């Protein structure tokens, strides 16, 4: 079983260099009777940790705490400028959100949109990973290089070029559709309708996130030991049977990780929505949680309310993260 | 080594190769379109027939964005932020990784889990508290406050560190214990060993990991958008591109030229680190 795990990505897989594997801590030298170094061995790690602890404590842990605190206050522009005293309102921001249809719509948008992106990303990435195992090296390299390009494209520039491709009048897509006789697409706006806008943003997201799934799943398939499959074949198992009973279970941890990782990314998408729908779409129809939180705080100056949205987003993501940690554990990542 | 049975190709299939090449073309098309549109003369771009080629490639859009639109300045800002933030994050992460992999002490496992969780914190949700934090910083040291690049440097040191620690563990642990024992026997102190022996040995790993830090810093749009409110001269590349979006008429030539300038370095770096991309967590840099 150890051998199997070693071949999987994340645990020092075939595509990784040796140092990618799970490290083992070294036993302290002090225990071997070299007393002169014992004091140093005890204090050195603490010194080494100082910079990271300061930075992460100050700019990650403390703001996280502050996020919760601000969400308990009625915090608006007047309070920021100091012309009105701060008022502690407990959970009222949350109560207001939960009683607000707009919030539930945004939450629904986020879940449906992220869910659709995850499913599409996994389907495309998985299918192409399977395809890649059946390719000759030159065509596989072509496919991987193109995917690497999409993967590397920053969210900002990816959004910009997709928006241009789907521009109502000057975009390549509408021009082509009109040219082949679909006159209805002349000047057609892809971002006017709510779900059409979501679909366009989703397409861009799938475009730049499927390569991660493809490459990871491909490495996973390649890492499945040949011997086990040959043995099953000798025992008379069909290819389908081998795929379902041997390859799929071995791949399960890899699939769990790419699924959860995709959920985490797609759930907290900001740039694509913000850029492609102009800050959340017409009348806020394309708002997702993160953009909603941003707009509440920095456009409407409702910092307390925006923070409450941030807390809810963080809590929802933490649940997914815990599932992620369990999946990592199962894959044999050693802490 | 023979290919896995499930993945085995009994005879070469031309069909699969054709599909793969078609998909590759489709995937690469937006990038091709970006470059093409940046090279098209404005008249062709605005003519309304989107030809998939141009007979008159020109660098006009690039010279325009670099001279008139001051994109050079934004490019410099982006480079500056990355050039300070990435080494800063590597400094924090390298020493933390050394402590967490080469020593055993209480809370070690707890700290590792914390690092992993820290990496998962949705930094998008922290804009509001960080906005106020840097507003306060700015009252003490203006260079580290809102509207200054210092604020972006600090948040990116912080955001890049957890993932870098996680990645560096493997590289640091790969240096054999015997090397350390030999150094200690020769009288090297802990810090001396880390600095003179461990650091050079881990340097290739540091380069790979710092590229991930560079990419996430370079690509960030949310924090410059939030922190750089009024100081035009301190904006970074993503904001410059956003500025070309106009309510009435988008300047697509400028948007595409800016996009090419912003995408190119990431593309080059991606080729360097592609070997490391599969390490499961590595994808974390893409937001």
Q: Are residues A52 and A145 in the same domain?
A: no
Q: Are residues A177 and A273 in the same domain?
A: yes
Q: Is the pLDDT of residue A44 over 90?
A: no
Cβ A167–B252 below 8 Å, yes or no?
Answer: yes
Rounded Cα distance, B253 and B266, in Å: 21
Q: Are residues A63 and A120 in the same domain?
A: no
Q: Is the pLDDT of residue A276 over 60?
A: yes
In a domain, A233, yes or no: yes
How close B104 comes to chain A (CA, Å)?
7
Query: A68-76: long-range contacts at Cβ-Cβ below 8 A with a sequence spacing of 24 or more?
Result: A68/A307, A68/A311, A70/A303, A70/A304, A70/A307, A70/B128, A70/B129, A70/B132, A71/A304, A71/A307, A71/A308, A71/A310, A71/A311, A72/A304, A73/A304, A74/A304, A75/A302, A75/A303, A75/A304, A75/A307, A76/A301, A76/A302, A76/A303, A76/A304
Q: Is the pLDDT of residue B98 over 90?
A: yes
Q: B23, B85, B128, B237: best mutation site toward chain A, by most A Cβ within 10 Å? A: B128
Q: Are residues A133 and A244 in the same domain?
A: yes
In a domain, A28, yes or no: no
Q: Using an 8 Å CB-CB cutoff, list chain A residues near B169.
A: 23
What mean pLDDT comes out for the span A224-235?
87
What is the structure's pLDDT at B106? 85
Chosen domain end from A52, A67, A82: A67
Helices (H), chain B: 14-39, 42-46, 60-63, 71-102, 108-120, 127-140, 149-173, 177-185, 190-193, 199-219, 222-227, 237-243, 252-273
Using CB atoms, which residue from B13, B16, B280 is nearest to A9?
B280
- Average pLDDT over chain B reads 87
Range of the domain at A104: 100-331
Cβ B184–A56 below 8 Å, yes or no?
Answer: no
Q: Given pLDDT bands bounded at 50, 70 and 90, which one contains residue B282?
A: very low
> In this complex, is the C-beta atom of B22 within 8 Å of any C-beta atom belonging to chain A?
no
3-state secondary structure chain A: CHHHHHCCCCCCCCCCCHHHCCCCCCCCHHHHCCHHHHHHHHHHHHHHHHHHHHHHHHHHHHHHHHHHHHCCEECCHHHHHCCCCCEECCCHHHHHHHCCHHHHHHHHHHHHHHHHHHHHHHHHHHHHHHHHHCCCHHHHHHHHHHHHHHHHCCHHHHHHHHHHHCCCCCCHHHHHHHHCCCHHHCCCCCCCCHHHHHHHHHHHHHHHHHHHHHHHHHHHHHHCCHHHHHHHHHCCCCHHHHHHHHHHHHHHHHHHHHHHHHHHHHHCCCHHHHHHCCCCCHHHCCCCHHHHHHHHHHHCCCHHHHHHHHHHHHHHHHHHHHHHHHHHHHHCCCC
Using CB atoms, which residue from B122, B129, B222 is nearest to A317?
B122
What is the structure's pLDDT at A42? 79
CATH number at A189 reads 1.10.3720.10
In a domain, A323, yes or no: yes
In a domain, A79, yes or no: no
What mean pLDDT comes out for the span B128-146?
93
In a domain, A253, yes or no: yes
Q: Are residues A182 and A235 in the same domain?
A: yes
Q: Using an 8 Å CB-CB cutoff, list chain B residues near A42.
A: 105
What mean pLDDT comes out for the span B273-285?
52
What mean pLDDT comes out for the span B234-255?
89
Q: Using an 8 Å CB-CB cutoff, list chain A residues near B278.
A: 9-10, 13, 15-16, 215-216, 219
B-contacting residues in A 108-147 (Cβ below 8 Å): 128, 130-136, 139-140, 142-143, 145-147
What is the structure's pLDDT at B265? 92
How close A3 comes to chain B (CA, Å)?
16
A79-88, A112-121, B177-186 — which one is most confidently predicted on average? A112-121
What is the structure's pLDDT at B36? 95
Q: Which of A55-69, B47-61, B158-172, B223-237 is the least confident region?
A: B47-61
> In this complex, is the C-beta atom of A184 within 8 Å of any C-beta atom belonging to chain B?
no
- CA distance readout (Å), A247 to A221, A240, A258: 7, 10, 16
Cβ A156–B238 below 8 Å, yes or no?
Answer: yes
What is the structure's pLDDT at A195? 95
How close B197 comes to chain A (CA, Å)?
16
Percentage of chain B modeled with pLDDT above 90: 52
Q: Is the pLDDT of residue A65 over 90?
A: yes
Q: Given pLDDT bands bounded at 50, 70 and 90, which one contains residue A1?
A: very low
Give the model confidence (pLDDT) of B51-62 as tens digits. 888 888 999 999
Rounded Cα distance, B257 and B65, in Å: 7
Whether the CA torsion B142, B145, B147, B151 is positive or negative: it is positive
Residue B234: closest CA among B149, B158, B165: B149
- Average pLDDT over chain A reads 85
Q: Is the pLDDT of residue A32 over 70?
A: no
Q: Are residues A182 and A268 in the same domain?
A: yes
What is the structure's pLDDT at A30? 42
What mean pLDDT comes out for the span B80-100?
96
Higher-confidence residue of A195 and A333: namely A195
Q: B7, B65, B119: best mutation site toward chain A, by most A Cβ within 10 Å? A: B7
Q: Are residues A63 and A117 in the same domain?
A: no
Cβ B287–A265 below 8 Å, yes or no?
Answer: yes
Give the model confidence (pLDDT) of A169-183 as tens digits. 899 999 999 988 888
* pTM summary value: 0.86
Cβ A165–B33 below 8 Å, yes or no?
Answer: yes
Q: Are residues A53 and A112 in the same domain?
A: no
What is the structure's pLDDT at B270? 83
In a domain, A232, yes or no: yes
In a domain, A284, yes or no: yes
Q: Is the pLDDT of residue A19 over 50?
A: no
Q: Are residues A156 and A287 in the same domain?
A: yes
How close B4 comes to chain A (CA, Å)?
5
What is the structure's pLDDT at B88? 97
Q: Is the pLDDT of residue B12 over 80?
A: no
Instruction: Note the ipTM here.
Output: 0.88
Cβ A335–B92 below 8 Å, yes or no?
Answer: no
Q: Is the pLDDT of residue A33 over 50?
A: no
> In this complex, is the C-beta atom of A251 within 8 Å of any C-beta atom belonging to chain B?
no
What is the structure's pLDDT at A31? 44
What mean pLDDT comes out for the span B24-47?
93
Using CB atoms, which residue from B117, B130, B279 is nearest to A63?
B130
3-state SS class at B118 = helix
Chosen domain end from A42, A67, A92: A67
- Give the number of A-B residue pairs with CB atoms closer than 8 Å: 388
Count CB neighbours of A278 within 10 A: 15
What is the structure's pLDDT at A64? 95
What is the structure's pLDDT at A334? 58
What is the structure's pLDDT at B41? 92
What is the structure's pLDDT at A25? 55
Q: Is the pLDDT of residue A53 over 80?
A: yes
What is the structure's pLDDT at B272? 77
Q: Given pLDDT bands bounded at 50, 70 and 90, which one contains residue A2?
A: very low
Q: Are residues A150 and A295 in the same domain?
A: yes
A-contacting residues in B 36-95 (Cβ below 8 Å): 37, 45-46, 48-50, 52, 91-93, 95
From first CA to last CA, the distance across chain A in angstroms is: 18
In a domain, A94, yes or no: no
Indicate the number of domains in chain A: 2
Q: Are residues A170 and A40 in the same domain?
A: no
Tokens representing residue B205 in the block: 């790993």
What is the structure's pLDDT at B121? 85
What is the structure's pLDDT at B138? 93
What mean pLDDT comes out for the span B161-187?
89
Q: Are residues A208 and A314 in the same domain?
A: yes
Q: Which of A14-18, A235-239, A273-277, B245-249 is the least confident region?
A: A14-18
B-contacting residues in A 202-221 (Cβ below 8 Å): 207-209, 212, 215-216, 219, 221
**All structural domains of chain B:** 14-58 (no CATH), 63-285 (1.10.3720.10)
Q: Is the pLDDT of residue A293 over 70?
A: yes
């Amino acid at each position: 079983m150890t051998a199997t795990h070693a071949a999987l990505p994340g645990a020092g897989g075939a595509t990784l260099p040796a140092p990618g594997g799970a490290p083992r801590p070294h036993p302290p030298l002090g225990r071997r009777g070299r007393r002169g170094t014992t004091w140093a061995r005890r204090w050195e790690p603490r010194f080494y940790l100082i910079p990271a602890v300061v930075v992460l404590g100050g700019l990650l842990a403390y703001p996280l705490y502050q996020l919760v605190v601000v969400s308990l206050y009625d915090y608006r522009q007047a309070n920021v400028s100091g012309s009105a005293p701060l008022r502690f309102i407990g959970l009222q921001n949350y109560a207001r959100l939960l009683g607000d249809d707009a919030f539930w719509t945004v939450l629904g948008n986020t879940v449906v949109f992220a869910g659709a992106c995850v499913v599409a990303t996994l389907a495309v990435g998985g299918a192409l990973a399977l395809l890649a195992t059946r390719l000759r090296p030159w065509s596989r390299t072509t496919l991987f290089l193109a995917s690497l390009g999409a993967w590397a494209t920053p969210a900002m520039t990816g959004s910009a070029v997709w928006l241009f491709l789907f521009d109502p009048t000057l975009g390549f897509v509408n021009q082509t559709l009109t040219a082949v006789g679909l006159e209805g697409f002349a000047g057609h706006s892809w971002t006017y309708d709510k779900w059409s806008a979501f679909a366009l943003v989703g397409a861009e997201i799938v475009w730049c996130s499927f390569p991660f799934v493809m490459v990871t799943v491909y490495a996973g398939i390649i890492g499945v030991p040949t011997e086990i499959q040959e043995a099953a074949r000798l025992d008379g198992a069909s290819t389908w049977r081998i795929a379902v009973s041997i390859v799929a279970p071995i791949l399960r941890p890899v699939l769990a990780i790419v699924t959860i990782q995709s959920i985490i990314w797609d759930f907290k998408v900001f740039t694509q929505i913000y850029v492609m729908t102009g800050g959340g779409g017409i009348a806020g129809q394309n708002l997702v949680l993160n953009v909603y939180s941003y707009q509440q705080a920095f456009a409407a100056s409702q910092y307390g309310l925006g923070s409450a949205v941030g807390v809810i987003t963080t809590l929802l993501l933490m649940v997914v993260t815990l599932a992620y940690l369990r999946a990592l554990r199962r894959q044999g990542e050693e802490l | 080594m023979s290919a896995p049975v499930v993945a085995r190709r009994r005879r070469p299939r031309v069909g699969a190769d054709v599909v793969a090449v078609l998909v590759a073309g489709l995937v690469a098309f937006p990038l091709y379109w970006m470059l093409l549109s940046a090279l098209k003369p404005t008249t062709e771009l605005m003519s309304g027939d989107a030809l998939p080629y141009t007979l008159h490639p020109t660098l006009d859009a690039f010279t325009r964005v670099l001279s008139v639109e001051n994109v050079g300045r934004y490019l410099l800002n982006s480079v500056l932020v990355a050039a300070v933030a990435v080494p800063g994050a590597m400094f924090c992460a390298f020493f933390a990784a050394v402590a967490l992999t080469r020593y055993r002490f209480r809370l070690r496992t707890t700290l590792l889990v914390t690092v992993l969780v820290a990496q998962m914190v949705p930094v998008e949700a922290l804009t509001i508290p960080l906005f106020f934090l840097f507003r306060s910083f700015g009252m003490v040291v203006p260079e580290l406050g809102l509207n200054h690049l210092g604020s972006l440097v600090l948040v990116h040191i912080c955001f890049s560190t957890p993932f870098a620690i996680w990645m560096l563990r493997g590289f640091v642990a790969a240096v054999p214990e015997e090397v350390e024992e030999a150094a200690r026997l020769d009288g090297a102190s802990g810090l001396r060993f880390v600095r003179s022996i461990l650091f050079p040995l881990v340097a290739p790993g540091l380069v790979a990991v710092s590229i991930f830090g560079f990419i996430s810093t370079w690509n960030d749009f949310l924090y410059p958008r939030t922190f750089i409110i009024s100081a035009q001269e301190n904006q970074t590349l993503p904001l410059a591109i956003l500025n070309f979006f106009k309510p009435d008429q988008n300047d697509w030539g400028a948007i595409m030229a800016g996009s090419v300038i912003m995408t190119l370095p990431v593309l080059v770096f991606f080729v360097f680190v592609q070997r490391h991309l599969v390490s499961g967590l590595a994808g974390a840099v893409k937001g």
